[in-house]
Amino acid sequence: MAARALTPAVVVLALFFLWRGHDAPGGGFIAGLVFGAGIVLRWLAFGPDGIGPLLPAPPSRVLALGLVIAIGVGMVPVAVGEPFLSGAIWELSVLGTELKVASSLVFDVGVTFVVVGMVGAFVRGMGSIR
């Protein structure tokens, strides 16, 4: 019962750490670890099949997507003649509110996916050990 109640809170906490990470301590790595803790919690409570709601894709695909995002964010500046991983800030208007999004946030999303993919692979591997 506790795992069902805590899972949404863990996901929200991971998103909070991801969002605040480009302006303050936190970011992709800690968000991935917190999300991974949710995966481990579900695995402990429900077994290997219990992580499906949090990690419906194979962990290797999640990890690969994270690498593509992180490397892609680094390579975009290179394509326009800037150094690798040069930062940028985009200003968007969402529902009449100005929203600033930094390239570091997109990079952190990639890092989060890499960490979640690694934790998922570990947990799925542990689940196959008898």
Helices 59-79 and 103-128 meet at what angle, rounded to 10?
Answer: 160
Average pLDDT score over the chain = 89
Phi and psi dihedrals of 122, rounded to 5? Answer: -65, -50
Q: Are 104 and 90 in contact (CB under 8 A)?
A: no
CB atoms within 10 A of CB 84: 11
Look up residue 76 and give its two tokens.
Answer: 């975009």
Residue of higher predicted confidence among 13 and 21: 13
Rounded to 5°, the CA angle 73-92-33 comes to: 45
Please report the pLDDT score of residue 16 as a whole number.
Answer: 93
Tell me: pLDDT of 22 over 70: no
Please report the pLDDT score of residue 69 as a whole number.
Answer: 96
